[in-house]
Chain A
Amino acid sequence: MARATLISDPTGAAASALTLEALRDVPPRSHRELTRIALIGNPNSGKSSLFNQLTGLNQKVGNFPGVTVDRKTGISQLTAQHRAEIIDLPGTYSLYPKSLDEKVITDLLYDQASDQYPDFVVITVDASNLRRNLLLFTQLADLGLPAVLALNMMDVAEQHGVQIDIMALQQELGVPIIPMNARKGVGIAALKIVMSRQLGAPTVSFFEPSEDLLPMIRQIRYYFNLHNDYLALHYAHQFRQISFLTADDKAYIGELVEKYDFKPTPRQAQETIDRYARINDILLNTVTVVRTEKNEPYSNKLDKVLTHKVWGYLIFFGILFLMFQAVFAWASYPMELIDEGVTWINQLVQTNFDGPLVNLLTEGVLAGLGGVLIFIPQIALLFAFIAVLEETGYMARVTFMMDRIMRKFGLNGKSIVPLISGVACAVPAIMSARTIENWKDRIITIFVTPLMSCSARIPVYTVLIALVVPPQKVLGIFNLQGIALMGLYLLGFFAAIFSAWLLKLILRTQNKSYFIMEFPVYRWPRWKNVGITIVEKVKTFVFQAGKVIVAISVILWVLASYGPGNALEQAETRVRATATQQQLSAEETDIRIASEKLENSYAGLFGRTLEPAIRPLGFDWKIGIALITSFAAREVFVGTISTIYSVGQDADMRTVQQKLAAEKDDNGQPFFTPARAFSLLVFYVFAMQCMSTLAVVYRETKGWKWPLLQLLYMTGLAYVSSFVVYQLFS
């Protein structure tokens, strides 16, 4: 219904036509230059939808503030002759940045001399929420940048009974206005035509800096050669945070600010109030709201159930359960397929080729790649869930319900999403922490998420628990082994919460943690956007984390395949000699050779070197090798242990357990005492044994500081806890 009214809507269509008519005299841009256009708008104003429509590039649309963290660009074919580079900027409510995201915008718009400076801006505005959306518009217009107003969500405005006299509004705002509905593609063509023209600066200004500030403003303008008073005023407000100013520049402005006794906070508050007063005047003349009936938003009715004291949490946990079910159960089928596929390729290579390069390819590269690819179904499913929850606006409700609880631990309502996803895999979980705008809350969340017990720990847990915990019933119904497993998950969860609380005490930050955010209305998800999200996340994961994990796998393979001098050859000769004496089968001999070779390889050497350090935890050199190899990924543990304890690679777990149980220490007693097993278990709960996680933390924090700190902290925590556990139990 809404779509039909918009297309046939005489005001909107006529306005577009008139806008285009008025622009007939404006010269088009030259064909050769690539116009640089920045897209700016409030969160939830449909900016990302517009970006997708203009560029056709894959990009995420979220119904949640702060989704767009990185600055994204794309090329748009405006007309047959004109192409433009579109820069997608993070959603913001004003030009006074409150977070690192928003600083991206001011960094771009303050530096006129930069070659990144946009030729003009397209400002997206939610037509159903004009008053608040126009605040950013008036600030941008006052910067003097040529601008187009994309009056988005006309359909929603109409449903709300908001009627906009577009021609009058265009007159008042002094820029071309294109009414549109970016989600459905309405108005895109008209916008593209306007974008291909050589636009001038806005003809109306909305705010004049106070008279007493003019001497200061003039001096800043002169010093930096700025074209605009309002821009100079922003320099006075933000000079400490402007990245391209030199120390001298900052000192100069600092002196001026001091000299004229410029107080930024009250000035900024007054400016906002003045702007709203001006906007109210404009809206009075151009917008009428006809309330046909008391249109209680359906969102409110939904919220009565979805954020209800009891139902709210029940529904939330229901959705969580479904998500875990999907990630653990449904994802296992495609994961098996991928595993089989990689094995098949591996065998294909092995049967057709020979030589050390082939071994590197199969045991190093392909094994590493398999380790990455196998997570694709889990990542895709998790992000499908998260994208739908975000698109519909439900995620904002979850954070709303959880904020109070999470805040006590230095986290934020929004941290709940990464923590939950972390039970499947820390990699997508850490990527989902982008939705947290506050730097401190986000860093803490990223830091503690890997402590949640991910699926890669399951094989280690099950093997070791089965070894030392008897399968007896407790209180008639509970299985002791099940309780132990549950305990390990809880241990990880509490470690995460406690670490968050610790970090909260340590970390200092200037920007306050706000929870002031727009509560989006529920919307039906756009499946195309969900698809784009899945493809994007999987691509990021495979290419970013994949590079690192493959590299590490190759290094590990080299370490495990080569030894100093001819140690490996000697080991093989030794085994063959004893094998003929003991009349071992060919298969048993091969296994024995593999084990002996590993012991004498560089990896084995490292295990021996490591032994003194891990002896207080109850571990010997064999476990040392497993620890080293499983630093790439925890799943490697079982495989390494199998090789070391002379078990064929593809033996099932019971065999591994039997071998572990049969392992004797120097005194002939069983090696895996409960003390040793629990020590090892606790080590695997805490230690940061995952290259993919390190790689993704590096990517998300854009530096090595946080991943290295995380590695040190988690490994330290693992070491100390293992030490305590071993000493207590033995």
Chain B
Amino acid sequence: MSSRSAQAKTSTPRSVKDLRLGESGTICCLQDPEMALKLLEMGCIPGTQVRLNSRAPLGCPITLVVGDEDYTLSLRVSEAATILLKD
């Protein structure tokens, strides 16, 4: 356990891009200021839970289920990489 948390501290912060299929995470912050405006409007608010719902056959774009509502968002992996997750 301790080794894993040590590893987490040294590695770069995880983003939505790093989620495995079906895995959920809580949004910590948005990196790209301009993209953030669009993502915020679409409901990707810090503190919101997102779940990686599916990937397009070629790995990009992906779909996320945002919050507890049945609301699915599709976005590119490069866009997902700007959404950082809480540990």
Contact = CB atoms under 8 A, between A and B. Distances in A.
Interface of A: 93-94, 96, 98, 128-132, 135, 160, 162, 265-266, 268-269, 272-273, 276, 289, 295, 297, 299-300, 303-304, 307-309, 312-313, 396, 400-401, 403-405, 413, 512, 514-519, 521
Contacts of A98: 37-38
Interface in B23-78: 30, 33-43, 45-46, 53-54, 56-61, 63, 66-76
A116 B63 CA distance: 39
A269 B38 contact: no
B18 interface: no
A368 to B, nearest CB: 44
B53 A135 contact: no
Contacts of A303: 54, 63
Contacts of B75: 514-517
Contact of B34 (A304, A512, A519): A512
Interface size class of B (residues with CB under 8 A): 35 or more
B43 A309 contact: no
Interface of B: 30, 33-43, 45-46, 53-54, 56-61, 63, 66-76, 79
Contacts of B35: 512, 514, 516
Nearest to B75: A516
A43 B61 CA distance: 20
A303 B74 CA distance: 13
A519 B41 contact: no
Contacts of B59: 404
Given A132-B66, A269-B36, 9 more contacts: A131-B69, A132-B71, A265-B37, A273-B40, A313-B57, A404-B60, A516-B42, A517-B74, A519-B73
Contacts of B74: 396, 400, 515-519
A538 to B, nearest CB: 32
Contacts of B68: 289
Contacts of A516: 35, 38-39, 42, 73-76, 79
A276 B61 contact: no
Contacts of A517: 73-75
A268 B61 CA distance: 26
Contacts of B38: 98, 514, 516
Given A403-B76, A512-B34, A131 B43 contact: yes
B33 A269 contact: yes
A403 B40 contact: no
Secondary structure class of chain B's binding surface, majority of residues: mixed
A273 B30 CA distance: 12
B41 A272 contact: yes
A267 B80 CA distance: 22
A364 to B, nearest CB: 50
Contacts of B42: 93, 132, 516, 518
Contacts of A401: 56-58
B61 A400 contact: yes
16 contacts: A128-B70, A131-B67, A132-B66, A162-B69, A265-B36, A297-B70, A303-B54, A307-B54, A401-B56, A403-B61, A404-B60, A512-B35, A516-B79, A517-B75, A518-B42, A519-B73
A518 B57 contact: no
